[in-house]
Amino acid sequence: MPAAPQAYRPETAILELGDAFYDLVAAADFPQTILRFRNDRAAAEVGLDSLTVAEWIAHFGRFAPLPGTLQQPLALRYHGHQFRVYNPDIGDGRGFLFAQMRDGANRLMDLGTKGSGQTPYSRFGDGRLTLKGGVREVLATEMLEALGVSTSRSFSLIETGEALERGDEPSPTRSAVLVRLSHSHIRIGMFQRLAYFREADNLRALTAYVLRHLYDEEPGEDAPVRLLDLVVQRTARLAASYMAAGFVHGVLNSDNINVTGESFDYGPWRFNPTWDPAFTAAYFDHQGLYAFGRQPEAIHWDAMQLAVALRPICEAEPLIAVLDTFGDHYQRAVSNAILWRLGLTPRDPDSDRALVQTIEPVLRGTATLIDRFFFDAFGGVLPDSYGEEWTDARAALATYAPHINRRSHPYWSGEPCSMLIDEVESIWSAIDENDDWAPFHAKIAAIRTMGEALADAAPTR
C-alpha cells in the first residue's frame, strides 16, 4: 500500500532565538535560473514535491518565501576553529537559512543555501558557488546517503548564469545556487561564538533550542551536559560512518560540525580507493590533519570545543566525563557501521570489534579496493579470489549470520558502485565541455540502486 502523501508543515522555530543569532539578508539577483537537479524524493518528505518547475525555480532560484515559514532569509552567526586555529571572522558568508518545516517523522528540517549571494560575513568573497562545486556536492550527498551516512540532502541545484573567477579551477567557470535539506544547521561554532562574547544567557537559550527542537527533550538543570552527551553520541556515529564508507570529508573544522551529527558542507571531499589512513582530500591539508584515519580524532576534538564553549554555563567535571565516552561510542558505532555495510547481524561488542580488527589490517596491507571488498563480502562469504592473507578474516566472517535477502537485489549481480575522483572529474567534464548531463543523472540513478540494495538487505542499525 503506497504511503500517504506528506503534507507541507511550515515552521519558524529559529525565530524564537531572536536577532542575536542571525542577520536578515537577501538573495542575489541571478541573471539566469536553469534547473539542473531537483530532489523529488527529498521534497516528498517535506510536502514540496508537487511544486511546478516554475514554482520550484521561484522558491529555490529566486528565493520567493515559501508560505508559512521564514519571510526573509537568515544568515546565521558563528565562529569556529579552522585547522585548529580559532577564527572569529566567519559566519554564513555565501548561504543562509531559507525555510523550516516538519518532515514525515515530525523532525524540524531546515532548507539552507550555498552560493546564494553575499552576507555580512562574506568578507572578501563573492558569495557564489561554482556549478562544479554544486555538482560535486550532489554526488557526495547521494553517495553518502546510500552508504548509510547521516548527511544533508542536496535538494536543488540551479545554474545561475554568472562567470566566476576561481584560483583553484579553470576560470571563468559556471555558477550555481544549491539548496540543502538538513535536520538543523546549528553548528558547534554557534556555541563558540556565544562563549567568545561571554553571552551566557544566549548559550542557555541555544542549548534549550537544540534540545527542544532537534532532540525532542525539554531542557532541565543538566541541559548543557545532556546536550554534550547527545552530540558526542551523534558525532561518534558520524565518524564511524565516514570510516565504513571510505569517505574523507576534507575540512572537519568546528564550524563544519553540526549538533545533530549530520554531515554537511562538501568542499574538497574524496572517497578513499583503498584503506589508506594517510589519504587526504584537501590539497591544502599539508599536515594531514583531516586524513582518512584521523577523522575520528578530528571530530572528537571538535566535540571538545563544544564542551569548552559550554563552560560558562556548566562545571567542567561532568563535561569532561561525557567527552571521555566518545571512544566507546565510536568503537561500537564503527563495528555496527561495518557490519551494516557487510549485511551481517551484529553479535556482541567484543566479537564485533574483533571482526573489524581482523578485517582492517588486511584491507590496509593488501591495498584492496574498499568498494570492491564490501561488494564481494556482502553477506559474509568472501570469493575464492581472495588469497591466503584473508584466511582469518574469512573464518571470522563465517561466524556471522547474514541478514535476510542477502543478495537478492539485481544490484549484486553487477559491479560495485564507486565514486572515485576520476569518475567525478569525468562527469564534470561532460557537463563543462558538452553540457551533457546524462552521465550525472545516470550516476545518481546507479547510486540510488545501490542504496536500495543495501536498504533491502542490510540489518537495521
Supply the residues annotated as catalytic.
255
Q: In the block, which residue shows the cell 529566486?
A: 62
What backbone phi and psi angles, to 5 degrees, belong to 458? -85, 145
Q: How far apart are CA 285 and CA 278, in angstroms?
A: 11
Q: How far apart are CA 144 and CA 20, in angstroms?
A: 34
Please report which helix (H) or strand (E) contains residue 163, including its range: strand 153-164
Please report which helix (H) or strand (E) contains residue 296, including its range: helix 295-310
Of 388, 219, 381, nearest to 314 (Cα)?
Answer: 219
Task: Name residues whose C-beta falls within 8 Å of residue 359's C-beta, 6 or more positions apart in sequence.
Answer: 338, 393, 396, 397
Of 136, 64, 58, 70, nearest to 101 (Cα)?
Answer: 70
Q: How far apart are CA 171 and CA 74, in angstroms?
A: 30
Q: How far apart are CA 40 and CA 311, in angstroms?
A: 43
For 83, the grid coordinates are 585547522
Q: In the block, which residue shows the cell 567568545?
A: 196
Q: Which amino acid is at 363?
A: L
